[in-house]
Structure 1
């Protein structure tokens, strides 16, 4: 089901119901870019710690926009022995709903946009019809502002329709250059009282002129008028003035407050789906999902904190229920059976023996996907096949039971070892970021930190260390890298032959003394 701003409110209860009845949920995101600075090797150094990797992604990836969110719900039907799926493609864009709501800045990466365009991604649906959203702090601020206006109205300080926060009970100070304009407005209002017309539409004017109109009319005509700013489809603002009695004025003010509340709920927008996922406590499955989780929290919950606090935020938002299928496929007992762990390749391999493709059926009224006709990089489709991969691997674990079981529930203890561990790309000895426990602390006393001239290439390092057999080079920047030796006892030889050194943490830190030619 495709969901945009046009049909979001109508679809919301359907989304809530699908989440509530599901056994587990699969998610995926599409972004406007991945990294705003370093190249891939610098952003994903093979000897990063989990904290270093998280910090890099936080610094270089969070200014991009998650603008398509895929959600696929999976409910197991015992009578049919198959999963019933409901897939949603949400198009998301942070459109401000009024002048006081956040006006978000974001960046795009040309390679990412070009790639999505080549896959047929519809950017018009994002920018023209994307669902808005607010994080919790933004929502709280706007609700507080709305409540303040309500209190002003209730206390008789003024009415939200036409009282400016800076208005007073005395006459407004009108700059000389605006006096003729305001006098003409007052004359039109006096004429309105004298004739049979009910309303008067003023010409569009500046925000400052509107403020002067509100202040002046509040002072000169404290009763009998309802004054409201109207916005046209072309974003032009003009003031509409209506003759009303006190009862009608109060009724209109109440309608305006209710409309404001509805607009605020609309502005919260897609964040309501994230809140529903969080409250459900359901298992949430993703593939290589660290960026998906980071963007979801950053955009729809709160700005990303440091890693320690991120883990605390995560525990509150997704209590103990995330599973990364890329990590699952890279871990025993699957590691020896699965050659490639990219999502498309993983889905294909999990159809073959010793695995079995899951039995699924699309719920009535929802888009049915055919995996033979790949729709990769559509977030809903990627979420769908991520769920299929999880089911195949979970059911395979049932073959180790006595007697074997063909169906393993999303609540089974067999899958608990994979919970809340997010796959870390291209780190040699730490495969995941642990969200609910201590991270792995591998020994790295076979690793040298090497500095060298800027013109050096990887081949220079391999030649320099050629006497030490197999090595791994992990670039840090243009003039430094980590060099992993195959055996720990080689470190001492390397130090005595080429380097002076100091020891820091788990790394052997070295500076090159010889000029390589």
Structure 2
């Protein structure tokens, strides 16, 4: 794979002049340790943290994208599918602070690869790639060989305990909490037997005369006592049958706390198999051993967590995280670095807030400026603001990294930070400084709105979705009907003309939009007409030109079918095929939790969707 990817063109796209002076530190596993200590300091002294992800793909069909008529539940289902299929190859992080018109940024671009460092089949056996994404990355000079061989691996929080169980590394015990239960007769017999054995072994190890024994006698003595060595220090193993016995042994060893250090040796299934006792020569030697064990454990922890150390630093800082298209970004982050994604959006939001309590999406701020409501491209948004508003922002990056000079990887995270500072200046929002972790009220109303189709903070609270247009009309999902079975060359305007006059329901105001080449969506502005139309489509009394269209293959379905497609994961290339499959399942129309209340969407006046924008 690496050899094949190395054949991709290694060309660099031209950067505009201002971006050439932006220095982004490129981080691989070769310089990860030093970068980790640097970014820890920068995060601690920052006001915000911008993030930007580079994925191996996004969607495999136009309708798989989050669309204007998606509810928060269907939008989350689409983002969840993408996060579970595709992989992250770059994760850019930029702690930054805003002081008046000055933006102080510390950008890092981490190169990732889900390598199985511990030979346990984690973090990932396989993932999907889209050729368009790989081509774009290659055009920007992305080094796939460096990614595969030097990319930083990681394990999620959910995968880490499983990895530790399989590794079965000894765990040092620094503090023993005494049990409140009264020892039974069996407990007393067990602990006295172990205590006698430990005393005899400890005294024998300290007996100087034993050191002068002949080699054969010394070997027999070690065999009888069960004496082994941990490095250069003597040790012995105490077999246990339950966690209760582990507790009893650890409490008993507290009597010898001056020179004995216990270690827990886990069994394959996760329970404790053995308590290993190490004898030290003095209190100073005991402290030295404990430090060695702690350092060993820290090194192993870093190896297991990998890049997730950065995620944990961001989470622990409780700083607001700024992104663009946050629903896609944070479903990926949750899936790769925290736990598998929950089944619905409500559980996802609860889980995400435990890790990142404040998430800000620059798209929500952009919607406060009318012409930017339709803009999804960050450079275009920055260019528009520069042309129409006087809000100078002086950005300073402090990295002096000449090794990667000229590379553009990770520059998008700087654009996000710059755009955020620009919008705050134009909207007259003064961000809180680093000594105050809470957001100012003007920014709080934009926090944790992940649905990209929300028109405003107020509309995001009741489950509404929206589109980026200046002329919108709110409509209930119950008034939407999906149509398919028409010719592939059909346009929305032509389909609307065919429907007009085909039945009385189309004598009232209605609108048509293409979702993809196989399916259209119809909105009835008058309540009740969508239900009437669906009943007519399933009736034998259908007549006129509508009957002719049905005979040629026209089919219809309500919005509930579309929600079930997303809920059940029927992700065919054409929406029409997915609708056909969901209609074949008679039991899939039941209402699901969190989706029992009617939702409303915003509609727009355009008749034809531009498939190039999908």
Q: Which runs of 5+ in 1 are unaligned?
A: 153-192, 195-217, 227-245, 399-404, 502-509
Cα–Cα, structure 1 residues 310 and 363, in superposed 2: closer, same or farther, change >3 Å?
A: same
1:95–1:132 CA contact under 8 A, matched in 2: yes
* Matched residue SS, 1:514: helix
2:123–2:155 CA contact under 8 A, matched in 1: no
1:382 aligns with 2:412: yes
1:68–1:89 CA contact under 8 A, matched in 2: yes
| 1:68 alignment partner, one of 78, 87, 90 | 90
2:335–2:341 CA contact under 8 A, matched in 1: yes
| 2:70 alignment partner, one of 48, 72, 87 | 48
Output the CA distance in 2 between the equivalents of 1:74 and 1:281: 14
| 1:121 alignment partner, one of 142, 157, 177 | 142
Cα–Cα, structure 1 residues 44 and 84, in superposed 2: closer, same or farther, change >3 Å?
A: closer
Aligned to 1:475: 515
Aligned to 1:353: 388
Output the CA distance in 2 between the equivalents of 1:279 and 1:109: 34
Cα–Cα, structure 1 residues 96 and 286, in superposed 2: closer, same or farther, change >3 Å?
A: same
Output the CA distance in 2 between the equivalents of 1:489 and 1:273: 51
| 1:309 alignment partner, one of 322, 336, 347 | 347
Matches within 5 A, 1:171-190: none
* Matched residue SS, 1:111: helix
Aligned to 2:424: 394
Question: What is the Cα-based RMSD across aligned positions, in Å?
Answer: 4.6
| 1:488 alignment partner, one of 510, 516, 526 | 526
| 1:132 alignment partner, one of 107, 129, 153 | 153
Output the CA distance in 2 between the equivalents of 1:490 and 1:512: 24
| Pairwise CA distance, 1:139 | 1.6
* Matched residue SS, 1:475: strand
Output the CA distance in 2 between the equivalents of 1:437 and 1:271: 31
Output the CA distance in 1 between the equivalents of 2:484 and 2:289: 73
User: How many residues end up aligned between the 2 structures?
Assistant: 408
| 2:35 alignment partner, one of 3, 6, 11 | 11
Output the CA distance in 2 between the equivalents of 1:261 and 1:492: 62
Output the CA distance in 2 between the equivalents of 1:393 and 1:59: 32
Output the CA distance in 2 between the equivalents of 1:115 and 1:263: 36
2:155–2:308 CA contact under 8 A, matched in 1: yes
| Pairwise CA distance, 1:514 | 3.5
Output the CA distance in 2 between the equivalents of 1:431 and 1:151: 54
2:141–2:407 CA contact under 8 A, matched in 1: no
Output the CA distance in 2 between the equivalents of 1:302 and 1:498: 46
* Matched residue SS, 2:485: coil
1:362-414 Cα offsets, whole Å, 9 max, x none, are 225368999xx994xx3x2111111111111111122xxxxxx8x55573322
Output the CA distance in 1 between the equivalents of 2:230 and 2:440: 66
Matches within 5 A, 1:360-379: 360-363=395-398, 365=400, 375=408, 378=409
Cα–Cα, structure 1 residues 337 and 298, in superposed 2: closer, same or farther, change >3 Å?
A: closer
| Pairwise CA distance, 1:264 | 3.0
Q: Which runs of 5+ in 2 are unaligned?
A: 1-24, 174-214, 217-222, 232-278, 434-438, 466-473, 540-545, 554-614
Matches within 5 A, 1:21-60: 21-35=45-59, 38-60=60-82
* Matched residue SS, 2:119: coil
The two structures have a TM-score, normalised by structure 2, of 0.56
* Matched residue SS, 1:386: helix
* Matched residue SS, 2:386: coil
